[in-house]
Chain A
Amino acid sequence: SQELEQSPQSLIVQEGKNLTINCTSSKTLYGLYWYKQKYGEGLIFLMMLQKGGEEKSHEKITAKLDEKKQQSSLHITASQPSHAGIYLCGADGEIKAAGNKLTFGGGTRVLVKP
């Protein structure tokens, strides 16, 4: 089964600084999803990547999928307190597999210090 490893597990950054979260897969990623979760709440969809080398940006958040499609990174520029939360990467394991269930990484807890 596919496993996703996220690093770091937690991160404390000063407001205004940049941060990067990595998500590494044991298998080829056919669809990689980034979500944000406030503690104890539901997940907010951020971005989806599917092509090797793909990069997407939304406001101050940029996500990339490497050419080999086994690693993704999420980069936040000039962090703000609103960026605090838990960031989760999720992946489709295979195309047309039984169920579009997502396998999730362990999450990265981000704290932004004012």
Chain B
Amino acid sequence: EAGVTQSPTHLIKTRGQQATLRCSPISGHTSVYWYQQALGLGLQFLLWYDEGEERNRGNFPPRFSGRQFPNYSSELNVNALELEDSALYLCASSLGLADSYNEQFFGPGTRLTVL
């Protein structure tokens, strides 16, 4: 069974540009989570999508946005890139049952570098 996949592996952008990151969850998983892992800041929750809707977001500005498609894959968009957006962006998926404990399975990540 395929795990969570992310693309691209690496992305290099310049300040002010937009970045689009993609994630495909494990088959059968409806929830997709995005996390940012910046150097020195640890792993921070960004966004949670379930059944096509944004369910929760972390403490990030509105220029971080995304969407979930009918096939449960997801995109993370970062507008007006800033140098501090350079980080490893991790996507995770789970069964998405809000009233039970669900292990989140992570993809390999997209390394975004902003120059």
Residues of A participating in the B interface, judged by any CB pair closer than 8 Å = 30-31, 33, 35, 40-45, 48, 50, 88, 90, 92, 95-96, 98-107
Contacts and interface: CB of A to CB of B under 8 A. Distances in A.
Given A40-B88, A48-B101, A107-B42, A99 B106 contact: no
A42 B107 contact: yes
Contact of B106 (A43, A95, A106): A43
Contacts of A45: 103-106
Q: 5 closest Cβ contacts across the A-B interface?
A: A99-B56, A43-B106, A104-B43, A101-B45, A42-B108
8 contacts: A33-B104, A45-B103, A48-B101, A95-B99, A99-B48, A100-B94, A102-B104, A106-B42
Interface of B: 4, 6, 31, 33, 42-45, 48, 55-56, 58, 88, 90, 92, 94, 96, 98-99, 101-109, 111
Nearest to A50: B101
B83 to A, nearest CB: 19
A33 B56 contact: no
B20 to A, nearest CB: 19
Given A42-B108, A43-B106, A102 B101 contact: no
